[in-house]
Copies of this chain bind each other. A is one copy, B any other.
């Protein structure tokens, strides 16, 4: 009876998925059909959740890594009247909602996206290969919370070619996150071709076993077999995680949609009746035509989620000097040199946050002794997730931790976060509050050379800083501290502010510029030197390491009779008006950046070019490919950003003004 109810339900959902994609005029009904039974067994039977509260704490989760299959989940949510929140107000999902799929005024988007008001999902998916890492993050958050929730993740067989899937397989096995169940949807058909033999079900099973998982092969359209394997999932941390290799049929139930050539192609309006009739015929053939899918709810009862675990309240983290004082090595260095690297300040802040707030978690990619995330790792091992040399998985797992209610800091060299730009964008689309920390940024890294220097990071991140997300915030806020006090304050601010952040921290020790109580509001800047006159000014605007180069340059310039202001522009997006006003009409702003173009130079130039009577803006940046050098100053001179270069650029600009 139960098996027949699942069959009837799966067919009903398949029909809804076909109708939705036909209504949209695009989408992936054939992939949806291959998942009809898997999704039905999960959402109507195995998962412990509540359609009225799809994001209730403690609920089992479903991560649809192959996001294009989403119409089958939308169909189930429609059938169940799952709570949605378009525009913020909660109500049950309706058939009209479903049929508005992919229209501009609908929250029912082409791929899963919680930010649009679809709380059943934890993360935006659609760029393939990322879901299993998100699932790992959700599982990690659940473990911290003491929650026994299960996380089911559906992955396409073709999608399994993405290396990130195997990073996630390792990560989950490494950390014993066996509450994650990976389901590979093996329909053997990709978009442009059959899947490679390297992704056939036998290969996937072999690989999963080699990665330390238990692989179980199942008929993906057999309700009893699916349920049996899912109910036998492991529940102990020591057990091998379960990988279900589900053999499925793309376009299941509709012979005309079988085989190659139907990926991402909806049924035409003219063909709709025939497609739906084919599914009806399949229902008759299976002997489930008489079952009312609506009435099957009596058989397909959904178990509610267990009560949420209690959470521990947060306290205030200690201040910078107290954090310094706790570490004798750092305290001695600060006392002696009045200098400290921003990455070291990150490490101190992260540890202080860890002590103050149980929601703070951290990840790093085998460089925690360079980023200084190692203090946190040692102090809070149960909240630290070593991601090894696999940055993509690290970032998506951080997104999962964020969705699971944590405040995840993910650190590595800024250059290596570039490995995860796609994952960062997906996290941002889904509204995950990532706290990214990229250390060793810029050409001042020096000796290791350009393969290790973050240089295009600022242009990429600034693009997002000018995108308003669905919560009305900058999609990413970029922070570049010029000293350890600033770095410390910014890390605390990142932790306690919603949204995604990128802290760009250089490797070098930098002189401390600010008093401990200095505040660094997002969008702000600091005027470090300013000429007393009221007229047009020459203003050097920099961030991070280059602030110090500018301060050195103004000393030189002062001796030559030039009075030059210096601004520490630590934030993108930047409130540009006061910086431009400081230079004033007829003045000159000169930006100095240890990165490729697209940062504060663009920020101020765009504002100046739009305004009337704005000062001129000259942008110094890295415009030649760097190489190794033994000191930061060697490399800065090579890329023409040394103190002497700044001085001569100012002198040339001053000549042109005069």
Judge whether A366 and B459 touch: CB under 8 Å: no
Of the candidates B113, B162, B374, B616, the one whose C-beta lies within 8 Å of that of A390 is B162
Question: Smallest distance from the beta carbon of A390 to chain B beta carbons, Å?
Answer: 5
CB–CB B173/A625 < 8 A? no
With A161-B366, A196-B388, A460-B460 known, 14 other A-B pairs at CB within 8 A are A25-B447, A104-B627, A111-B628, A113-B449, A113-B450, A190-B366, A191-B369, A207-B211, A210-B210, A459-B460, A475-B625, A597-B602, A609-B614, A610-B617
Cα–Cα distance between A211 and B207 once the two chains are bound (Å):
7
- Chain B residue nearest to A573 (CB atoms) is B597
Across the interface, which residues of B come within 8 angstroms of A292, CB to CB?
none
A426 adjacent to chain B (CB < 8 Å): yes
When chains A and B are docked, how far (Å) is the Cα of A573 from the Cα of B618?
Answer: 17
For A254-274 the 0/1 string (1 means CB < 8 A from B) is: 000000000000000000000
B210 touches A203 (CB 8 A): yes
Residue contact A389 to B162, C-beta cutoff 8 Å: yes
The answer, among B449, B467, B617, B638, for a CB contact under 8 Å with A609, is: B617
> Are B25 and A630 in touch, CB under 8 angstroms?
yes
Given contacts A110-B448, A419-B127, A622-B467, whether A390 and B167 have CB atoms under 8 Å apart is: no
Encode A58-97 as 1/0 by CB contact (under 8 A) with B: 0000000001100000000000000000000000000000
B597 close to A462 (CB less than 8 A): yes
> Within the complex, what minimum Cβ distance (angstroms) separates A511 from chain B?
22
Q: Which residue from chain B places its CB closest to the CB of A625 in the assembled complex? A: B469
Docked Cα-Cα span, A426 to B610, in Å, equals 36
Contact check, A422 vs B429: say whether CB atoms are below 8 A apart. Answer: no
> Does A148 belong to the interface (CB within 8 Å)?
no
Interface residues of A in 458-481 (CB under 8 A from B): 458-460, 462-464, 466-470, 475
CB within 8 Å of B: which A313-371 residues: 364, 366-370
Quick one: closest B residue to A621, CB to CB? B466
Q: Provide the bound-state CA to CA distance between A475 and B626, in Å.
A: 12
Contact B174 A374 (CB under 8 A): no
Let me know if B163 and A124 touch, CB within 8 A.
no
Query: Which of A158, A419, A601 gathers most chain B CB within 10 Å?
Result: A419
A537 to chain B, nearest CB (A): 16
A residues 437-461 with Cβ under 8 Å of B?
447-452, 455-456, 458-460
Min CB gap A379→B, angstroms: 15
**Chain B residue nearest to A614 in the complex (CB):** B609
- Could you tell me which residues of chain A, from 604 to 658, have a CB within 8 Å of some CB in chain B? 604-606, 608-612, 614, 616-619, 621-625, 627-630, 634-635, 637-638
Docked Cα-Cα span, A155 to B632, in Å, equals 29
A248 within 8 A of B: no
Given contacts A104-B635, A596-B467, contact A127 B451 (CB under 8 A): yes
A203 CA / B212 CA spacing, docked (Å): 9
Check A468–B426 contact: CB distance below 8 A: no
Contacts of A598 in B (CB 8 A): 459, 462-463, 598, 602
Contacts of A469 in B (CB 8 A): 625
Asked if A163 and B167 make an inter-chain contact with CB atoms under 8 angstroms apart, the answer reads yes
Contact partner of A448 among B126, B212, B605, B623, CB < 8 A? B126
| A274 shortest CB reach to chain B, Å | 23
Most B CB within 10 A of own CB, among A125, A415, A621, A624: A624
Most-contacted residue by chain B among A109, A368, A458, A638 (CB, 10 A): A109
Q: Which residues of B contact A203 (CB under 8 A)?
A: 210, 212
- Please indicate the chain B residues that have their CB under 8 angstroms from the CB of A618 in the complex: 610
Q: Are B167 and A196 within 8 A (Cβ)?
A: no
- List, in ascending order, chain B residues with CB within 8 A of A609's CB: 604-606, 608-609, 614, 616-617
Sample of 16 A–B contacts (CB below 8 Å): A25-B447, A26-B447, A104-B628, A106-B628, A111-B451, A113-B451, A127-B452, A207-B211, A421-B456, A425-B456, A456-B460, A463-B598, A470-B625, A597-B602, A605-B606, A610-B616
Q: Are A367's CB and B192's CB within 8 A? A: yes
A165 within 8 A of B: yes
Cβ of A418 under 8 Å from chain B: yes
Select one of B393, B452, B475, B602 contacting A163, CB under 8 A: B393
Q: A453 to nearest B CB, angstroms?
A: 10
Closest to A656 in B: B612
CB distance from A456 to the nearest CB of B (A): 4
Among residues of B, the one whose C-beta sits closest to the C-beta of A606 is B605
A392 at the interface (CB under 8 A from B): yes
Interfacial residues of chain A within 501-541, with CB under 8 A of chain B in the complex: none
A24 to B625, CA, bound (A): 21
Q: Which of A282-335 contact B (CB under 8 A)?
A: none
Q: How far is the CA of A616 from the CA of B614 in the complex (A)?
A: 10
A369-418 at interface with B (beta carbon < 8 Å): 369-370, 374, 386, 388-390, 392-393, 415-416, 418
A209 contacts chain B at the CB level, 8 A cutoff = yes
State in angstroms the CA–CA spacing of A191 and B367 once bound together: 6
Report the Cα distance A622→B190, complex, angstroms. 32
User: Considering the complex, which residues of chain A in the window 123-146 have a beta carbon less than 8 Å from any beta carbon of chain B?
Assistant: 124-129
Q: Once bound together, how far apart are the Cα atoms of A419 and B103, in whole Å?
A: 27
Specify which chain B residues have a CB less than 8 angstroms from the CB of A460 in the assembled complex: 421, 456, 459-460, 463
Residues in B with CB closer than 8 Å to A193 are 366, 386
Take A448-B111, A625-B429, A628-B110 as given contacts and tell me if A370 and B191 are in contact as well, using a CB distance cutoff of 8 Å.
yes
**What residues of chain B lie closer than 8 Å to A106, measured between beta carbons?**
628
Query: Nearest Cβ in chain B — how far from A276, in angstroms?
Result: 22
Contact status A596-B162, CB under 8 Å: no
Decide yes or no whether A206 CB sits under 8 A from chain B. yes
Chain B residue nearest to A112 (CB atoms) is: B451
Say whether A252 faces chain B, with CB atoms less than 8 Å apart.
no
Across-interface contacts of A483 in B (CB, < 8 A): none
Whether A164 contacts B161 in the complex (CB less than 8 A), given A111-B452, A629-B104, A634-B103, comes out as no
Kindly state the separation between the CA atoms of A448 and B166 in the bound complex, as whole angstroms.
26
